[in-house]
Structure 1
Amino acid sequence: MKFPERFSNLPAYAFPRLRALLDHLDPGGPVVHMTIGEPKHAFPEWVTEEITQHAEGFNKYPPNDGAPELLLAISEWIKRRYDVEIDPTTQVMALNGTREGLYNSAMALCPETKNGKKPLILTPNPFYQVYAVASASVGADPVFVPATDLSDHLPDFNLLPAEQLDQVAIAYICSPANPQGAVADRAYWANLIGLAEKHDFKIFADECYSEIYREAPPVGALQVASEMGVGAERILAFHSLSKRSNLPGLRSGFVAGSPENIRHIKQLRTYAGAPLPLPLQSAAARAWRDEEHVVENRRMYAEKFDLADEIFAGIDGYRSPKAGFFLWLPVEDGEAAAVKAWTETGVRVLPGAYLSRDVAGENPGRKFIRAALVAPKTEVSGALRKLRDCLYDKRD
């Protein structure tokens, strides 16, 4: 059986590509993994207690859309964080990790045609690879919009011609951005929402890193829309406990938006989704209600970013991230730098090109590597110093 044509041009996922690049080579020192954004800080001790106390829930099928107490906790968190009122019964749905939502929401909401033509889906470049796979799955044409230092590492959708924007069905945007750590401010969101209103498309706001920031909390898409007096019809906001609470294995996220959009997503999830077990939903509800552990988590990341700023001070092109937990480090060639770092130091980083797509012969990630600051501070400190000595000293 032939593989569907629309998937034939998808590149290999980043981490299989990395294994093919490095696994046949010997590491040049003790192995330090800085490739995957998998938090290593401790999650709250009460998570285990919460799951144990509600273990009888494993004997029940969980509500497909999320338990009422979890949906209420999420809507209350949105109110506290963004001062936006969300109806927990109609405007939010629990997700088994936000990857599911980012993919399935396109399946549920992208039209087969727009203005009689094939729809377009906008995505930053570099980007989280699920965006492109979602585009292929719904039969839309992806448009990869560069997110480079020329546009403050956020995609400048204003550069697209009006006739192209008229064909857009969905625009993916990640803020704080993976991998660059850039943050969309109020003006950026207001401009994007204005484009969506003018050209009739939806915004999929991937805000999974929203609680890991260094100074002011990033504004959100729903927040700016509310301040503008624009309804939630244009926006789907996606959040997760993976980064905020160091709980990637809990697989708890949510999507929030207008009742009509959420209704369509719920309908698809009835057939294609996998709801979170009830004991895990109980733990998730408590996590969304607790901020103490989030503050401590943010403090530990801030320490590591301050450390990175000190280590890479004076490196040409180094940019101190505003949020998230990645460094987007400039190099001559990302693959060559990853090989050099691995074979000379044992530090494993991800070539930026593996998170980007070639457009007109240019790949905006080619001259970067991504390093995740998820390990304990002492391990991160040693690894970053090795990277600096290995990759940059000759350029000083």
Structure 2
Amino acid sequence: MNFEKYPFERLTELLQDIIPNEKYELSALTIGEPKFETPQFIQDKLKETSSLLKKYPSTIGEPFLRESMINFVKTRFNVSLQMNQIIPSFGTREVLFNFPQFALFNKKNPVIAFTNPFYQIYEGAAIAARAEVIHIDLTKENNFKANLSDEDLKRCDLVIINFPNNPTSASMSIEELGSWVEKALKYDFILVNDECYSEIYFDEKTKPASLLEASLLVGNESFKNILVMNSISKRSSAPGLRSGFIAGDEQILKEYLQYRTYVGCASPVPLQEAAAVAWNDQEHVAGFRKIYKKNFEIANEILGTPIPDATFYIWLEVEDELEFTRNLYKEKNVKVLPGSFLGRNGLGKGYIRIALVENEIKTRDVLTRLKDFIDG
């Protein structure tokens, strides 16, 4: 398999010959990893249940974990799921990689489409599945929203969209998502929305909708051809718990569950215990949202960038993203990610991605450095 280098490996190569300005402490705005402590009640649950390491975890997950995820979906999206409509996963990265291989295995000439620029695991899954790729280009001209021609959709076996979007921070309305559900039914392809940023929003009136909600909106009550993925990594500042899920079409999930028994990605029971209390609690998530909103307010004040509906990313337009990244690191000891490392066919060129995952004080300091660099 010929996988492309991961963006962070490419960034290391880009910056390897640069000596940064030692006047400043290094600030890395590159990785979408929250820099906040995992809430204490989650940590306590993990400690309290460590004796359960003596048990083999089941592939399907403990009932209490699935119930907590179902409760989350009901509380957040007002969608009622049955036990056979959800499968816990070891975060979303593993399921985003292995689900396409499962779904496309029996296709003679498989075709997968996904948003571009993108989380690189989508491309890795396509390579592993030997699938032809159709890119769903997200551009300033289309407001970074997903659209694909009927001719391309007719060829697709699997489509992965990602809203709220990494890296552009764009969101799609429930009606826009609903039109994608209708296309998935009309052209009979599996439609997946990677929703791991759904909980990092800043206004109750504009909080992101789920593809599951959109499915119900257009009358697809069985979620035929429709799946969503989500995780607690961002919402609970707990990426190390590796707790995610895939939910939707029970017929697809029934076969996928059998496949997963061979994959060996079952989560240890103590991690499931800690994840369950996180999924069941919404209050701590609201606290994190306030932090991220404040960071965007600081960015708006310093850089003039708009506050998006969701995510913790700024997709900042620059003249030459590679030179910008190199010179910013050299002069201000700040690392950002060139947008071209996240896209194909020229998408992402002329942008950098900034992850606002630090506290208010660090965010103000580093964005001030960034502004000073831009003003030159």
Give the one of 54, 67, 70 matched to 2:65.
70
SS in 1 for 2:354: strand
Q: How does 1:233-272 map to 2 (within 5 A)?
A: 233-272=224-263
Q: Is residue 222 from structure 1 mapped to residue 246 from structure 2 by the alignment? A: no
Partner amino acid, structure 2, of 1:384: L
Q: Distance in 1 between matches of 2:135 and 2:106?
A: 20
- Residue in 2 aligned with 1:377? 360
Give the one of 327, 347, 350 matched to 1:364.
347
What do you get for the CA RMSD once the two structures are aligned? 1.3
Moved over 3 A (4+): none
SS in 2 for 1:166: helix
Normalization by structure 2: what TM-score? 0.96
Q: Distance in 1 between matches of 2:177 and 2:247?
A: 17
Q: Is residue 23 from structure 1 mapped to residue 11 from structure 2 by the alignment? A: no
Identity %: 35
Contact 2:185 / 2:224 at 8 angstroms: preserved in 1? no
SS in 1 for 2:224: helix
| Alpha-carbon displacement from aligned partner over 1:316-360 (angstroms, at most 9, x marks no partner) | xx55422101111110111111101100000100000000012xx
Deviation at 1:188, TM superposition (A): 1.2
- Residue in 2 aligned with 1:208? 196
Normalization by structure 1: what TM-score? 0.91
Give the one of 81, 99, 107 matched to 1:105.
99
SS in 2 for 1:233: coil
Q: Distance in 2 between matches of 1:227 and 1:60?
A: 42
Deviation at 1:44, TM superposition (A): 1.1
Q: How does 1:110-259 map to 2 (within 5 A)?
A: 110-113=104-107, 118-157=109-148, 160=149, 162-215=150-203, 216-230=206-220, 231-259=222-250
Give the one of 48, 56, 59 matched to 2:54.
59
Deviation at 1:119, TM superposition (A): 2.5
Q: Distance in 2 between matches of 1:223 and 1:373?
A: 28
Give the one of 329, 335, 340 matched to 1:348.
335
- Residue in 1 aligned with 2:289? 298
Q: Distance in 2 between matches of 1:336 and 1:320?
A: 26
| Alpha-carbon displacement from aligned partner over 1:192-228 (angstroms, at most 9, x marks no partner) | 1111111111111100000001112211000110122
Q: Is residue 43 from structure 1 mapped to residue 21 from structure 2 by the alignment? A: no
Give the one of 270, 280, 289 matched to 1:279.
270
| Alpha-carbon displacement from aligned partner over 1:221-253 (angstroms, at most 9, x marks no partner) | 001101221031221110101000000111111
Q: 1:37 to 1:31 in 2, by over 3 A?
A: same
SS in 1 for 2:233: helix
Q: Distance in 1 between matches of 2:210 and 2:343?
A: 24
Deviation at 1:98, TM superposition (A): 0.3
Q: Distance in 1 between matches of 2:132 and 2:75?
A: 38
